[in-house]
Amino acid sequence: MNLPVVSPSFHRPPRHPYAWAWVFTASQLLVVGLWWRWGWPAGLPAMVASHLTVIWATLHPRSQLLAPALSRLPVADRAVWLTIDDGPSADTRAMLDLLDAHGARATFFLVGERASAQPELVREIVRRGHGIGQHSHTHPQAWFWALPPRAMRAQIDAAQAALTAITGTAPRWFRAVVGMSNPFVASALKRHGLARVAWSARGFDGVRCEPEQVVDRIERDLAPGAIVLAHEGAAHGRNVETLSLLLERLRALGYRCVVPDGDASVPEPSAGSAGEDIQRRREVESGIATH
């Protein structure tokens, strides 16, 4: 049976989604003051620096300037949060089988439009005890970072509605497309109580097709509490093979895959199942449900 746990304190939806606007306005007033007092030699560098700061905050996946972003779990032992982006896809069932075989749990960050086209896969993810997060509605990879307010809200609203309709439960976690989160994301997240999730270990398996290289890169960034980014459905067709190797490597290194409590409810494995020994070691720590 699942043990009772405390709701995780690290689930942090944006509280002040327009704070960036006040800060940016203040910075531009400062630029005007510098320009008026000392001319362009002082004003121009200040203006460039202020604009570059906004660009950096938009493009850097772990930036906290525009909205809170979780990139590591507060655990001290060898536990990681495995997250899988871009589904559902033709890879989903095979990935679920691999996770079952290793007694591991993951959170799937799903694209709303793809979920609506294959709702049975979404329900299968939930049935097997894994978490669901949202990853926009149409996955506009090239332009998500530049979407204006109305288009950004539409992406997040539509994905939330689609996933909630399929599963009966509203997702609690959000991952920006390609990790880029512009100033208009925060207000949409606050509307739905969504917390943004970044990552601390990735192997670029969305574009790289050599599983060994992908897993080697992830391993270099592994540490207690790491959030591992993986993908499904990439054009190179080797995401399942990569996940298999990754799960084997994690087990060899003594890492367990965990998900935040409330994201999944895993049934007890039957006697002799692959996850039996991990099930016996289940524990509660810092608001994390583990297997």
The answer to whether the CB of 104 falls within 8 A of the CB of 260 is no
CB atoms within 10 A of CB 25: 10
- In whole angstroms, what is the distance from residue 198 CA to residue 184 CA? 17
Q: Give me the residue label for tokens 């999730």.
A: 197
Beta bridge partners of 230: 84
Catalytic residues: 85, 231
DSSP 247-291: HHHHHHTT-EEEEETTS--PPPPPTT-TTHHHHHT--EETTEEE-
The CA-based angle 16-17-19, given to 5 degrees, is: 65
CA atoms in the 13 A half-sphere facing the CB of 178: 15
The residues, any chain, with a CB within 8 Å of residue 10's CB and separated by 6 or more, are 70, 73, 74, 195, 260, 287
Nearest alpha carbon to residue 159 among 191, 125, 206, 127: 191
Question: Is 133 strand, coil or helix?
Answer: strand
Question: Is 185 strand, coil or helix?
Answer: helix
Nearest alpha carbon to residue 241 among 222, 213, 263, 282: 213
Q: Which helix (H) or strand (E) holds 246?
A: helix 239-252
